[in-house]
Each structure stands twice: as structure tokens, then as C-alpha cells.
Amino acid sequence: MDFILEAKNLTKTFSLDAGFFAKADKKVYAVNDVSFGIERGKTYGLVGESGCGKTTTARLLVQMYKANSGSIIYNPQGEKPACDVTKLSKTELREYREKIKYVFQDPSRSLNPRMSVCSILTNAYRYSKSFPGKTAAREQAATLLEEVGLDPSDLDRRPSEFSGGQRQRISIARGLIMKPDVLICDEIVSALDVSIQGQILNLLLDIKNSRNLSFLFIAHDLRVSCYFCDTIGVMYSGMLLEEAPAKDLYKTAAHPYTKLLFEGSAGKGTLNAGEVKTVLKNVTGCPFAHRCPKATEKCKNEIPEWKNIDKNHKARCHYLGVAE
């Protein structure tokens, strides 16, 4: 496959060392041996409940956090050969971050309330080698506002003058101004009304098609993800448990956790029967075993290997009836 960005065996731990009496050797294992790839012009969805490691994984990709182990391979089309992002210099990392942009969940916190929309869109742009000058940058910002469904006259307004959906459009425009290769969308519709969610998702689809842009789409709602994504990876306690084409996953979901998520999205299931546990030691079995109705001692003591279910569909479960 032609990946624009690929994560290979990423792991990340955080120290629980906090306070005078804390034990320095205590760790949270947030991401555990995670591997996936984002194809050019396609959308990869990372789905799971809160606390499963989705956002940590995304922040590893832009090096907001440094991975304990693993690699992140970026291969810009028609430019330099593939590179390992974890080994970039500060200058190289700054250039990389111009091509991999992050849109946060809450625009009311990620947009500076004291800055005008024009300043929000162009402030970081000024430090780029591709900065065209103040006048041209303002013109680009105005064009971008139109592209995301706002008016060029909004450039001199402040974020507080906009609704939540409009602020998210501004965040998307800020991510687009440097013409990135990948847009990472971290739960960007979860706090919006359902009608506004649909508008933002349709906007992103239009942008994806017009710019041939690649996306990492992070969400907890499988139904939303199946609508927007091409491929979905289901994550639990820092580990990927299933990966499949989005258009088929609702029919072919194989892992018990994926089925549980679909039931929860439909309002039928027992999604609240248990919760994602904070992992405080190396994973030695299936992380979902404590909630799985089919779990055995083998599940608790052995990490399941990936099993192929169909073309581009695989899952991690000891007891899947799959064709090898």
C-alpha cells in the first residue's frame, strides 16, 4: 500500500511520579505496540472509548510526545525519500509539522480569544519558508474561510463571536493554510450537535476530495467513523484489536469489543458494563479480557496474534473462527 504516514510498533509510557510520596517506578502504559498506515488520499479512523490511547497515538505522530520505542515513517510525494520522524532534527521537525497538521477537539480552547481570525490563521504561517508575505497570506486566509463555509469579512472578528461549529471551521482552515499532506482530526465533531456534526463531516469530505488530502480521524462513535473513514482501527487500552475497511465493518465486526462498540452506538448494548482500565504494567494478555464475556485464562495470560479474516480485515482474538 502507498502510505503517506505509517506508525510501526509504537509504545509510550508515562510516569506516575507526582507528589512527594509518589513512586517513581510506577508507569502508565498508554500505547502498546501500535502499527497502522494512512494511505494517500484516504482516511484512517482510530476508534475506541475515552482512555484507550487514541489521542496519545495521534500526538506521537506529530511529536507532541516522544515514543519510547517504534518508528513513524513519513514519505512525502515526489520530494525526499521516506524518513523516520522520531529521528528528525528541530529544523526538519518544524518542516514536517507544516505537512502534518492537527485539529483539536475543543476550538474554544485551541483558538486564542485575543487574536483575530486572520492572525489565528496566519500567525504560525509567518515562520514557514513558504510564507508569501502579509498581504498574500491574508488573501489566502480569506479564500480558506470561503472554502470552509465562512465569509472573508470574518477575518477581523474574534473567536468568541462565533458558534462552536463555526469555530471548528476556523480550526480546520488554520490546519489547511500551509497545504498539508495529512490532517489529524481529534474528536472534532464529538462536542457538536448532530446536525452540525453532519455539516462538518461533509465539509471534510469535500476538502478531502478537492485537495486529495489524507486524514487520521479520531472518534469514539463507530457509526460516524464508518461514514467518514476508509479504514478503521479499533483500539482498547493502548492496543489495536481490529482493523477493517469502514464500509464493511458494521457487517463483519469480529472482535467482541468492536461488536460492543456498535451495540453502544445503536443504544442497545451494555457499553457501560465495565470501563477502560488504566494499564500500569506491561500487557501480558488481551487487554479486553476483563470485560469480555468469552474470556478464558488464555485470554488473560497470552496476547493474541493478528488473524486474517478477509482482505484488509484482521483482528486480535484467540477464539475467532477465521481462515488463515
Q: What is the mean pLDDT of residues 302-315?
A: 93
Contact call for residues 138 and 155 (beta carbons, < 8 A) = yes
Cell numbers for 47, please give them: 476508534
Per-residue pLDDT reduced to its tens digit, 309-321: 988 999 999 988 6
% of the chain at pLDDT higher than 70: 91
Whether the per-residue pLDDT at 277 is higher than 80: the answer is no
Alpha-carbon distance of 302 to 145, in angstroms, equals 51
Q: Which CATH superfamily is domain 3-316 in?
A: P-loop containing nucleotide triphosphate hydrolases (3.40.50.300)
Per-residue pLDDT reduced to its tens digit, 72-106: 999 876 567 889 999 999 999 999 999 999 999 88
Give the model's pLDDT for residue 108: 82
Top pLDDT among 324 and 72 is at 72
Give the model's pLDDT for residue 78: 58
Whether the per-residue pLDDT at 273 is higher than 80: the answer is no
Give the model's pLDDT for residue 81: 80
Q: What is the mean pLDDT of residues 60-67?
A: 96
Whether the per-residue pLDDT at 324 is higher than 50: the answer is no
Give the model's pLDDT for residue 243: 97
Give the model's pLDDT for residue 284: 87
Give the model's pLDDT for residue 77: 63
Q: Which residue from 297, 264, 237 is spatially nearest to 52, judged by alpha carbons?
A: 237
- Burial (0-12, 13-18, 19+ Cβ within 10 Å), 81: exposed
Per-residue pLDDT reduced to its tens digit, 209-244: 999 999 999 998 888 899 999 999 999 999 999 999
- Residue 306: beta bridge partners? 316
0.85 exceeded by the pTM?
Answer: yes
Q: Which residue from 259, 207, 251, 282 is spatially nearest to 28, judged by alpha carbons?
A: 282
Whether the per-residue pLDDT at 274 is higher than 80: the answer is no
Per-residue pLDDT reduced to its tens digit, 136-188: 999 999 999 999 999 999 999 999 999 999 999 999 999 999 999 999 999 99
Give the model's pLDDT for residue 322: 39
Cell numbers for 172, please give them: 480546520
Sign of CA dihedral 83, 85, 86, 91: positive
Whether the per-residue pLDDT at 323 is higher than 50: the answer is no
Top pLDDT among 1 and 111 is at 111
Per-residue pLDDT reduced to its tens digit, 22-60: 566 678 899 999 999 999 999 999 999 988 999 999 999
Helix residue ranges per DSSP H, the chain = 54-61, 90-99, 107-110, 117-122, 134-147, 164-176, 194-211, 222-228, 246-252, 256-265, 297-301
Alpha-carbon distance of 286 to 97, in angstroms, equals 34
Q: Which residue from 201, 173, 274 is spatially nearest to 45, judged by alpha carbons?
A: 201
